[in-house]
Copies of this chain bind each other. A is one copy, B any other.
Amino acid sequence: MNLSTFIASVKTDLDTFLSQQITTQFPKYLYDPIIYSLDGGGKKIRPSLLLMVAEQLGAQRKEAISAAAGIELFHIFSLVHDDIMDHDDMRRGKPTVHKKWDEATAILAGDGLIALSNIFMMNTKHPRIAEILSAYSETILKVCEGQAFDKEFETRTDVTLDEYINMIGLKTACLLGASAKIGAIIATDDKDVWDHYYQFGFNLGLAFQVQDDILDLFAQLDDLGKDIGSDIFNEKNSILTIYAREQNILPKYNGEDKATFISECKSLFISKGILEKSTALKEEYTQRAINHIDAQNSPLFMELVEKLNSRIA
């Protein structure tokens, strides 16, 4: 089975599971926006990673599907609340929940998603449920901390590389780490194995975010499905802007032609070695991730790593 077949089967099984589990329709004020947010598509990377690890280590999918659903619902909770906080109007080509309804509805929908996430995680009904729920609960707090640092950093222009990596570690990479770790906890009681899969997921998450930052400027328009250079135009912290600030060469947009500005930034970031450093950092995290798994005997994992690295235009 290759990666895209695997992910397709995860999507099917998740949809089936969720339609069996979420049968309540009332109060509509709560469940309509929850169901809307679950219909939003998405790549299902986190539940796929959880199930991939669990199955690689010998567990059955049915033992892990509830935890996989819990992880996915937690991820969607964070998107629904982040979209309110960040005033984002669109998500995966559809109006965000607070745009389609209102902020109060979206706050409560997010709360309901985390409640369901807790329940699905609980319903894993596993002898090591305490370990599963510890990993899960710690992650919720870390993701909140990551989001808080991200908001704090919006008003700062002196964010260091270490601070930035710490932030994306909390906001993005932890949840990938926890997904892989929970898959491992379900399959084995070997704590070293849990830690290796955590580190695999965590470093993959860091690589993923660094790549995302690079693509913000260097992707072809068609690949990204969103505007090129939004980090530069909005003076957002990203791996590119932080490296550029370190060298005091971050260009400031002054209303000139956007395509020309993007083109100049790209040339500058290439000539000053910023693209190279960023790519090297991404590759370092990718390599760290691979070091934690048995690469020879993990074709799906290597394909996941590959998929990530081939995203660049």
Asked if A148 and B81 sit within 8 Å, CB to CB, the answer is no
CB A237 to nearest CB in B, in angstroms, measures 14
If A27-B152, A133-B133, A149-B27 touch, whether A138 touches B112 (CB-CB below 8 Å) is no
Asked if A108 and B81 sit within 8 Å, CB to CB, the answer is yes
If A81-B108, A108-B151, A129-B130 touch, whether A140 touches B122 (CB-CB below 8 Å) is no
Residues of B within 8 A of A28 (CB): 152
List residues of A (72-120) whose CB comes within 8 Å of B's CBs. Answer: 81, 84-85, 103-105, 107-108, 110-112, 114-116, 118-119
Give which listed residue, B85, B122, B129, B137, contacts A115 with CB less than 8 A.
B137
Chain A 124-156, CB-CB to B under 8 Å as 1, else 0, gives 010001100110111011011101110110000
Copies of chain A in the complex: 2
Identity of the chain B residue whose Cβ is nearest the Cβ of A104 in the assembled complex = B85
Is the C-beta of A30 less than 8 angstroms from some C-beta in chain B? Answer: yes
Identity of the chain B residue whose Cβ is nearest the Cβ of A119 in the assembled complex = B137
**How far is B140's CA from A141's CA once the two chains are assembled, in angstroms?**
17
List residues of A (21-78) whose CB comes within 8 Å of B's CBs. Answer: 27-30
Asked if A111 and B29 sit within 8 Å, CB to CB, the answer is no
Identify whether the interface residues of A are mostly helix, strand, loop, or mixed: helix
Residues of B within 8 A of A138 (CB): 119
Identity of the chain B residue whose Cβ is nearest the Cβ of A146 in the assembled complex = B27
Asked if B119 and A141 sit within 8 Å, CB to CB, the answer is yes
**How far is B141's CA from A27's CA once the two chains are assembled, in angstroms?**
11
If A108-B151, A144-B30, A149-B29 touch, whether A118 touches B118 (CB-CB below 8 Å) is yes
Give which listed residue, B116, B130, B148, contacts A30 with CB less than 8 A.
B148
Residues of B within 8 A of A107 (CB): 81, 84-85, 107, 110
Tell me the A residues contacting B by CB distance below 8 Å: 27-30, 81, 84-85, 103-105, 107-108, 110-112, 114-116, 118-119, 121-122, 125, 129-130, 133-134, 136-138, 140-141, 143-145, 147-149, 151-152
Q: Give the 6 A-B residue pairs with the shortest CB-CB distance, closest first.
A: A30-B148, A27-B148, A115-B141, A85-B104, A115-B140, A118-B137
